[in-house]
Structure 1
């Protein structure tokens, strides 16, 4: 039994590493990089890493990553959230340096590219969650209130990030990108459904009492 648990834990971590690492590796071998400057490349890979972190977040909060206690999972979730916000800052800053007019169009929702608004909406949702997480104690947000705010924003982050990524025809390889996006959606749906189920069962238990 212990051997099976150990093998299962290893498989989960390997699968997660492949889900994030393969798209990054394939993007690193893209021919399009030959015509890109270092700042643009850095910005692009920051965006890919950010999408990978969006996959990790629900897995952490749902307790699906072996070897992490509930408390440690929440702590890692907190730090990954900060890293995600930093990756988005690098992504946006790099694109701003390489093409300010395009970024202005994107931020003002006047860009002709269909992927821009999804990315901008996801960005603001990420920054909002990060700011609220920093101010949570000062604002006195209880767990129930925090979830009421956080879950809808998490849905916006996931949906916006996936749409943004899928609509971009860039350095990411098509199949690995699609697989990563599907995994992000699946993880988010599973965790949110689990939280909703627990809330429903808790409500039924209180009603019976």
Structure 2
């Protein structure tokens, strides 16, 4: 519902009448990407019902791949429709205030994906992985939310704000829960 309503309302936007199919596809890929950013912490936090911890992690990996695909479609579609605008965005010289936030979030997503794919080869232990992944996840969430909120496009304002608030709330909840679990674990080890 939190993801479907903004997508459905964007599909009814009058602004779509002046856009080509590639631009529309790129825009909807961006909306889907934000929805996937919402799902990721819910999976790791074990919030979604009916999934074991193992299955949640496996789905988290697959959703991560879908997120990368959505971002690539978003950026490639925008590049196809306006290469000069994308060059400005990627070189941080765009006059639009939303561009740097999207670019930073994109690079953080790619960094997480690269590290995740090389985690075993690099011998990253879980503690080290979390120390790298959590700050990058924070950058992804904040960058994606600010990027989305600053864009005045096909997304309806209220549903966009609700989706962005849900992304932030999910990320904060899961990070606080993980921190609490770590604190309890540390206290239990100290007592032993």
- TM-score w.r.t. the length of structure 1 is 0.91
Root-mean-square deviation over aligned CA pairs: 0.6
Q: Give 1:163's aligned residue.
A: 146
The runs of 5 or more residues in structure 2 that have no matched partner are none
Q: Give 2:96's aligned residue.
A: 113
Q: Deviations over 1:17-68 (max 9, x none)?
A: x111100000000000000000000000000000000000000000010010
Q: Give 2:185's aligned residue.
A: 202
- Aligned partners of 2:190 and 2:75: how far apart in 1? 48
Q: Give 1:10's aligned residue.
A: none
The runs of 5 or more residues in structure 1 that have no matched partner are 1-17
Q: Give 2:157's aligned residue.
A: 174
- Aligned partners of 1:42 and 1:163: how far apart in 2? 21
Report how many aligned residue pairs link the two structures. Answer: 192
Other structure's SS at 1:145 match: helix
Q: List structure 1 segments (4+ residues) > 6 angstroms apart after TM superposition.
A: none
Deviation of 1:198 after TM superposition, in Å, equals 1.0
Other structure's SS at 1:19 match: coil
Q: Deviations over 1:62-97 (max 9, x none)?
A: 001001000000000000001001100000000000
Within a 5 Å distance, the mapping from 1:15-54 to structure 2 comes to 18-54=1-37
Q: Which has the higher contact order (CA 8 A, sep 6+)?
A: 2
Within a 5 Å distance, the mapping from 1:1-209 to structure 2 comes to 18-209=1-192
- TM-score w.r.t. the length of structure 2 is 0.99
- Aligned partners of 1:146 and 1:199: how far apart in 2? 15
Q: Deviations over 1:120-176 (max 9, x none)?
A: 000000000011111111111111111001000000000000000000000000000
Deviation of 1:208 after TM superposition, in Å, equals 2.1
